Amino acid sequence: MAETTGMKRPWGERRKRVPAWPAACGVVLAVALVAAGAFARARQPNAEYAARRARLAAEVDAPVVLFGYTGKENTLEFLRFQQEENFYYLTGHNEEGAAMVLVPPVPGKKDSSAREILFLPARNPRAERWNGPRLGPANPGIAETTGFREVKPFTELSKVVAQLAKEFPKIYTELPSGGEIGYPHAQVWSDWLRKQAPGVELEEISGKIGALRQIKSAGEIALIQKAVDASVDAHLEAMKMMRPGLYEYQVAARMEFVHADEGCTEEAYAPIVGAGFNSTVLHYDLLEAKIQDGDIVLLDVACAQDGYAADITRTYPANGHFTPRQREIYDIVLGAQNAAIAAAKPGMVLTGRGPKSLFLVAYNYIDSHGKDREGHSLGQYFIHGLSHHIGLNVHDAGDPSRPLEPGMAFTIEPGIYIPEEKLGVRIEDDFLVTETGVKMLSARLPRNADEVEAVMAQGHAARAGGH
């Protein structure tokens, strides 16, 4: 998905905007929405979440208080519950209405060690008749199930926070930012904390958690690879079915079917399938146009596995053959991607225009190859960033200007978009940083124009033969 400063649209919100939940609703919320279940997610081992919490505890000098989502962040029945990402990263808990307290060791205090408490709402048998069983603080073996040493009823959180306020001058939590949309999660809960702990300073914790999230564990890498593999298969299916006369939504639907059939738990973002002029619209997701002979079709479609996102884009000729101009632009984009791949290694950065910038490598390639109709260089048509991290969010958390380190997962996705020619090309693949360079996680999906045409020809032949 093209890296831009705008907000991407989540999967399921393709044609309807999610209304903001009124800030005046406070934090006492009603029973979970009848039709809204949660995405099933296979957890990592409890030890992995505990290790993440331990790493965070070692980096703070005061308690951390985090809140999960309530299940009322939107009121649309076709959207399903997904946990707040930082909360999920540290707990693996994917149910509504939970909170977490992490207290670091106190220097100089005898027998001081990190303390962690998970707060869960009491079980509601009536709600569970609609939405299924939930974990509750009184469940037998709840500590072993969740991996937390202490699990308490959510109603006890205010008392614990009040006690922490007597012992510490500040508390870390998520604070509201200009990018917060929809339900004002951080605003509501930071206001609540101020009421429970008046006079205590609240400090932002998201940056520290985001830095941890940038380095993926072996388990996280395995989930990303599973999402990539299913996404590659979906692109191969789309490549073979592509032809004039289809509608954009038909291609997207087939790809989503492949994702689900291979066990992907959710889409990573709203599918983008843009034909002709729509290929030049970065986050186009109406999917309403009929694909015409001679169109170029841009497909930015990928799934997520147990919360971990892939992000893959390919650009195909609708009739199976690039025109000379389409191939020219395609080959320039591919050359820019190959240049960035060759330069990618630990120490390089994804953004900016400094000497270690991968963006600059790709931009310089595009700007020095080819021209538009007026004879101008093509750099002006590369209108988004080159890369972003992937993980629990398709544009994952953390400082994008941080130098690459082994264990980071990210995209390389140059593009050229020329609206007056109805010609947009983006090629996007997913990578893992190694000790010496990068590994392309999506290498199985063809990128070369001749290879793309060959796969499309296979699809045409199979249709002609009745297979």
Q: In the prediction, which pLDDT does 180 show? A: 62
In tens, the pLDDT along 211-231 reads 999 999 999 999 999 999 999
- In this structure, the answer to whether residues 166 and 190 fall within a common structural domain is yes
Give the burial string for 57-86 (b: 16+ CB within 10 Å, else e).
Answer: beebebbbbbbbbbbbbbeeeebbbbbbbb
Q: Provide the domain limits for residue 174.
A: 23-213
The Cα–Cα gap between 203 and 175 comes to: 7
Tell me what pLDDT residue 80 has. 84
Residues 6+ apart with CB under 8 A from 374: none
Q: What pTM, to 2 d.p., does this model score?
A: 0.92
pLDDT of residue 35: 36
Indicate the DSSP class of residue 424. E
In a domain, 12, yes or no: no
Alpha helix ranges (H) inside 306-407 = 324-343, 358-367
Q: What is the pLDDT of residue 9?
A: 55
Q: Which residue has the tokens 């393709």?
A: 14
Q: Could you say which of 169, 187, 213 is where a domain stops?
A: 213
pLDDT digits (tens, 9 = 90+) for 395-443: 999 999 999 999 999 999 999 999 999 999 999 999 999 999 999 999 9
Closest CA to 452 of 226, 272, 242: 242
End-to-end CA separation in angstroms for the chain: 33
Asked if 237 and 209 touch (Cβ cutoff 8 Å), the reply is no
Residue 434: give its domain's CATH number: 3.90.230.10
| Final residue before a domain boundary, out of 171, 192, 213 | 213
Measure Cα distances from 110 to 59, 63, 106, 113 in Å. 20, 18, 9, 9
395 domain-assigned = yes
Say which range, 38-42, 203-207, 403-407, has the weakest mean pLDDT.
38-42
Amino acid at 387: S
* Phi, psi angle pair for 269, to nearest 5°: -170, 170
Q: Is 55 helix (H, G, I), strand (E, B) or coil?
A: helix
301, 196: one domain: no
Beta bridge mates, 64: 102, 172
Reading the block at residue 266, the tokens are 């959710």
109 and 198 within one domain? yes
Neighbour-count burial of 115, counting CB atoms closer than 10 A to its CB (0-12 exposed, 13-18 middle, 19+ buried): middle
Write down the residue that tokens 């034909």 correspond to. Answer: 275
Are residues 167 and 225 part of one domain? Answer: no
pLDDT reading at 78 higher than 90: no
Q: What is the structure's pLDDT at 113?
A: 75
Please give the C-alpha separations between residue 104 and each of 49, 115, 348, in angstroms, as whole numbers.
Answer: 16, 7, 33
Q: Position 36: which residue type?
A: A
pLDDT at 299 over 80: yes
Say what the pLDDT of residue 179 is. Answer: 64
Q: Which of 65, 74, 131 minimizes the C-alpha distance to 103?
A: 65
Looking at the domain assignment, is residue 47 inside a domain?
A: yes
Q: Identify whether 119 is part of a domain.
A: yes
User: Can you read off the two tokens belonging to residue 449?
Assistant: 């124009």
pLDDT at 10: 57
Q: Where are the alpha helices (DSSP H) in 197-323?
A: 206-213, 218-241, 248-261
Q: What is the pLDDT of residue 30?
A: 30
Cα–Cα distance for residue pair 53/114, rounded to 1 Å? 9
Q: For residue 316, give the H/E element and its range.
A: strand 313-317
Mark whether 192 and 88 lie in a shared domain: yes
Asked whether the beta carbons of 83 and 68 are under 8 A apart, the reply is yes
Q: Report which of 453, 447, 384 is spatially closest to residue 414, judged by C-alpha positions.
A: 384
Which of 213, 246, 273 marks a domain boundary? 213
Whether the per-residue pLDDT at 34 is higher than 50: the answer is no
Same-domain status, 404 and 438? yes
pLDDT digits (tens, 9 = 90+) for 165-199: 999 999 999 999 876 666 799 999 999 999 999 99
Give the pLDDT confidence score for residue 16 in this predicted structure. 33
What is the rounded average pLDDT for all residues in the chain? 91
- pLDDT score, position 324: 98
Query: Residue 164: which CATH number?
Result: 3.40.350.10
- Same domain for 106 and 56, yes or no, is yes
pLDDT for 175 equals 96
Band of the pLDDT at 6, cuts 50, 70, 90?
A: very low
pLDDT of residue 111: 62
- pLDDT score for 19: 29
Amino acid identity of residue 55, one-letter, is: R
Cβ neighbours of residue 64 closer than 8 Å, sequence gap 6 or more: 56, 57, 100, 101, 102, 103, 171, 172, 173, 205
Structure-model confidence comparison of residues 391 and 127, the more confident one: 391
Whole-number pLDDT of residue 105 = 87
Residues 288 and 420 in one domain: yes
Task: Please report, rounded to a whole number, the percentage of residues in the chain having pLDDT higher than 70.
Answer: 90
Whether 384 and 262 map to the same domain: the answer is: yes
Domains identified in the chain, total number: 2
pLDDT digits (tens, 9 = 90+) for 148-167: 999 999 999 999 999 999 99
Would 3 be classed as within a structural domain? no
Does residue 65 lie in a domain region? Answer: yes
Hey, how many other C-beta atoms are within 10 angstroms of the C-beta on 436?
8
Q: pLDDT tier at 42 (50, 70, 90 boundaries)?
A: confident
DSSP E strands: which ranges in 154-228? 170-173, 201-204
Please check whether residues 273 and 147 belong to one and the same domain.
no
Query: Do 84 and 171 sit in the same domain of this protein?
Result: yes
Q: Rounded to an integer, what distance in angstroms lies between the CA atom of residue 110 and that of residue 112?
A: 5
In a domain, 13, yes or no: no
Instruction: State percent of the chain over pLDDT 90.
Output: 83
Confidence band, pLDDT 50/70/90 cuts, at residue 18 = very low
pLDDT greater than 60 at residue 32: no
Q: Is residue 4 part of a domain?
A: no
Residues 262 and 279 in one domain: yes
